[in-house]
Amino acid sequence: MSDLSFEGRVALVTGAGGGLGREYGLLLAARGAHVVVNDLGGDVGGHGAGGGAAQRVVEEIRALGGSAVANTGSVASFDGAAAMVAQAVETFGRIDILINNAGILRDKAFHNMSASEIDVVLDVHLRGTFYVTRHAWPHMRAASYGRVVNTSSNSGLIGNFGQSNYGAAKMGIVGLTRVLAKEGARRGIHVNAVAPAARTRMTESVLSPQAAEALEPSRVAPVVAWLAHESCPATGEVISAGAGRVARYFVGLTPGFLSRDLTVEKVRDHWDEARDTGGFIVPDDPAEEMALLMKQWT
Ligand code: NAI
């Protein structure tokens, strides 16, 4: 089979001044895409801005013969998000690919978490993903083509101590991904999410030496590039990517226990049966779940 090309495609990658986003930008550009490298340039906690991170990646891409421009706006601003999409369209004529990757951490046990620590993390991850996608969406609808790759995390999918703000935002992004996949389907727009694991400034302090070696961010980039390619059929999926492993997270539903005259004692007595994961299904939409429920009812 032939190599996958992104020749002529235009990609906006948020938070691409370092870490995973930089790898995505480098790979897409190496395969022929024009890349808008967005990065606000603050620290891992989202403090500060500037620092030239986006411009440095643009220079790296250009030095390798690729095509890129820098954007230093914040995804957490609706107008900033509009400006980065406009820059893609004005500079390169279109926007085919959006990789919502920008992110920060403000970890703290829930009982100590302040309102601002809740808000700023939701703003960058969840609202940021809404905002940039909201501005790219009309262009993709008009072109009847688009590939959106959002960024989730096992911290939300599974839960991780001290990350209630981050985990909630990352699971919120899964809900957004699922809904937009349905809304985009008739217009050729695919929306998926990646749950990455990589050694970056965000994670390096918590990794064992072995994990640090395995979790090279460049081992995540091929998965994101595949999700961004026109030949990838997936939409509405959450793909785990790290250390070169590609796998799928999904929301499953157990067959459960049904009684027409359910009582609290019956719930107690059939608790294990209700939760038994044997024979689970992965419903594609609420109608599929309802059909299963009605089948069990009759
Ligand atoms: P990183 O800190 O190297 O990259 C995040 C980038 O986003 C930074 O360059 C930062 O300047 C930029 N950014 C922050 N706020 C911004 C804003 N308001 N507007 C524009 N840019 C902004 O960390 P990493 O690991 O590369 O993270 C990339 C994404 O992957 C994040 O969404 C993160 O939550 C997610 N993730 C990473 C994991 C890992 O193992 N590294 C695990 C799970 C999720």
Residues 6+ apart with CB under 8 A from 102: 14, 15, 21, 38, 39, 40, 75, 124, 125, 128
Asked whether 156 lines ligand 1 (CB < 6 A), one says no
CATH number of the domain enclosing 27: 3.40.50.720
Q: Which one-letter amino acid corresponds to residue 229? A: H
Asked whether 46 lines ligand 1 (CB < 6 A), one says yes
| Residue 238: its H or E element | strand 238-242
Residue 213: band (very low, low, confident or very high) from pLDDT cuts 50, 70, 90:
very high
84-122 pLDDT, tens digit per residue, is 999 999 999 999 999 999 999 999 999 999 999 999 999
Burial 46-79 (b: 16+ CB within 10 A, else e): beeeebebbbbbbebbeeeebebbbbbbbbbbee
pLDDT at 170 over 80: yes
Q: Are residues 270 and 210 in the same domain?
A: no
259 in any annotated domain: no
Atom 3 of ligand 1, residue of closest alpha carbon: 19
**Total of domains in the chain:** 2
Q: Domain containing 107: what range?
A: 10-249
256 in any annotated domain: no
Q: Which one-letter amino acid corresponds to residue 221? A: A
Instruction: For residue 136, report the distance from its CA to the centre of ligand 1, in Å.
Output: 20
pLDDT at 263 over 80: yes
Q: Are residues 19 and 80 in the same domain?
A: yes
Tell me how far apart the alpha carbons of residues 55 and 25 are, in angstroms, rounded to a whole number: 12
Q: Are residues 141 and 279 in the same domain?
A: no
Asked whether 74 lines ligand 1 (CB < 6 A), one says yes
Q: Are residues 71 and 212 in the same domain?
A: yes
Q: Are residues 101 and 203 in the same domain?
A: yes
Q: Are residues 66 and 190 in the same domain?
A: yes
257 in any annotated domain: no
Task: Average the pLDDT over 36-48 and give the result.
Answer: 94
79 in any annotated domain: yes
Instruction: For residue 15, report the distance from its CA to the centre of ligand 1, in Å.
Output: 6
Q: Are residues 114 and 240 in the same domain?
A: yes
Q: By the 8 A CB rule, do 97 and 16 touch?
A: no
61 in any annotated domain: yes
What pLDDT was estimated at residue 1?
79
285 in any annotated domain: yes
Instruction: For residue 137, report the distance from its CA to the centre of ligand 1, in Å.
Output: 22
What pLDDT was estimated at residue 2?
87
Instruction: For residue 202, report the distance from its CA to the centre of ligand 1, in Å.
Output: 7
1 in any annotated domain: no
Residues 6+ apart with CB under 8 A from 231: 4
Q: Are residues 172 and 284 in the same domain?
A: no
Catalytic residue list contains 24: no
- At residue 34, the 3 state secondary structure works out as strand
Q: Are residues 161 and 291 in the same domain?
A: no
Asked whether 99 lines ligand 1 (CB < 6 A), one says no
Tell me how far apart the alpha carbons of residues 157 and 121 are, in angstroms, rounded to a whole number: 16
Residues 6+ apart with CB under 8 A from 269: none
Tell me how far apart the alpha carbons of residues 203 and 207 are, in angstroms, rounded to a whole number: 7
Q: Are residues 167 and 293 in the same domain?
A: no
Q: By the 8 A CB rule, do 28 and 16 touch?
A: no
Model-level pTM? 0.98
Q: Are residues 228 and 290 in the same domain?
A: no
54-88 pLDDT, tens digit per residue, is 999 999 999 999 999 999 999 999 999 999 999 99
Q: Pick from 39, 100, 125, 132 the residue to mutate for probing ligand 1's pocket: most ligand atoms within 8 Å of its CB.
A: 39
121 in any annotated domain: yes
Q: By the 8 A CB rule, do 100 and 147 touch?
A: no
Residue 51: band (very low, low, confident or very high) from pLDDT cuts 50, 70, 90:
confident
Q: Are residues 102 and 26 in the same domain?
A: yes
